[in-house]
Chain A
């Protein structure tokens, strides 16, 4: 019964991941991150997500394009490092707009960025919750598997 729960969770996670890859929300870098995670550092991926992924406080007035450009670069770099493909792509477009001092373009890009970022955050949260449940379920399962 518990075993079935673990497998189900694993299947659900795989399915979610597949969807996210298919949508281009995540790319292969995310897989690299997962591979780096092991017993000694089981929360590596979630730490990456929470520890400063979005430090960027974008100035909605767009008063300082140069500063915005710097923040965008940082955000773009972080996105790329964790495999947040779509977020990164929006950053690219956003940066282009800011380099042209294109205020309307920046506004649109910002909206898009918030949308993509929100979506990504929610999906990652889902993934991590599933992972935690899986770990719990697997832990409960071990006593039954005395080989």
Chain B
């Protein structure tokens, strides 16, 4: 896979496993955590690209921060149809990063017309309910507490499948539109979500509060599943 991007990426690993269907972009400023998430993802048979900052992540995705969407004269640096040389099926990012936080990155992705369909997962070493709510409301699919375990990654696949199906539908629709551009046939109903900040892919445009799936709230509720009892600061009082 040849990627023609002019970047200086310290820790970028692209696997060439052609049998892996899904490509995950991992973002974390910590060397260890980046290594860990990369290993976890590869063990789960995903292709992985790991970068150490939000701005590098955006560059990799083809979105440049200097873009001013409100200025019509600016040549957009990403055009949805032909820039996707690298298809990213999921972004998993640390929350606490210098410069652009994971939350900032999430916002930028969801504000971008070309990237908003990509599911985003946030990781954090701190269990802060308000932080979690904020991220989920901004469109994050999941919020993982660190250290992330292999079992956590099982929750990623449904999100990636949904977005892949959607991309394929969108791709088909675009091909169809191109081929029918001269005809007077009616357009197919749009298969992509409405242009709202809402990232829920389901036809129901219900706000986040109404999710049937409560799994993503796992860190908010007290009752974590038994095999994930998290003794964060487990009462060993080190007196100083």
Produce 1/0 per residue, A67-83, CB < 8 A to B. 00000011011101111
Asked if residues A77 and B33 are in contact (CB atoms below 8 Å), the reply is yes
Given A24-B236, A89-B238, A112-B238, A47 and B147 contact (CB-CB distance below 8 Å) = no
Find B43's partner among A36, A55, A93, A109 (CB 8 Å cutoff): A36
Provide the residues of chain A in CB contact with B237, threshold 8 Å.
93
Q: Count chain B residues whose beta carbon lies closer than 8 angstroms to a beta carbon of A.
A: 22
Provide the residues of chain B in CB contact with A41, threshold 8 Å.
39
Residue of B nearest to A74 (CB): B30
Asked if residues A32 and B32 are in contact (CB atoms below 8 Å), the reply is no
Asked if residues A81 and B240 are in contact (CB atoms below 8 Å), the reply is no
Interface of chain A: mostly helix, strand, loop or mixed: helix
Provide the residues of chain B in CB contact with A81, threshold 8 Å.
30, 32-33, 36, 146-147
The verdict on A130 contacting chain B, using a C-beta distance below 8 Å, is: no
Q: How far is the CA of A41 from the CA of B43 in the complex (A)?
A: 10
The verdict on B150 contacting chain A, using a C-beta distance below 8 Å, is: yes
Asked if residues A32 and B35 are in contact (CB atoms below 8 Å), the reply is no
Produce 1/0 per residue, B146-187, CB < 8 A to A. 110110000000000000000000000000000000000000
Interface of chain B: mostly helix, strand, loop or mixed: loop
Residue from B33, B39, B233, B238 with most neighbouring chain A CB atoms (10 Å): B238
Find A89's partner among B30, B36, B233 (CB 8 Å cutoff): B233
Residue of A nearest to B37 (CB): A81
Q: How far is the CA of A33 from the CA of B30 in the complex (A)?
A: 16
The verdict on A108 contacting chain B, using a C-beta distance below 8 Å, is: yes
Provide the residues of chain B in CB contact with A119, threshold 8 Å.
none
The verdict on B125 contacting chain A, using a C-beta distance below 8 Å, is: yes
Provide the residues of chain A in CB contact with B32, threshold 8 Å.
48, 51-53, 78, 81-82
Assuming A76-B125, A77-B30, A78-B32, what are 17 further A-B pairs, CB within 8 angstroms? A29-B147, A32-B149, A33-B36, A36-B36, A36-B150, A53-B32, A77-B96, A78-B30, A80-B147, A81-B32, A81-B146, A89-B233, A89-B236, A93-B237, A93-B238, A93-B240, A106-B240
Q: Which B residues form the contact surface with A (CB < 8 A)? A: 30-33, 35-36, 39-40, 43, 96, 125, 146-147, 149-150, 233-234, 236-240
Q: Which 6 A-B pairs have the closest CB atoms?
A: A52-B31, A108-B240, A93-B238, A109-B240, A77-B125, A78-B32
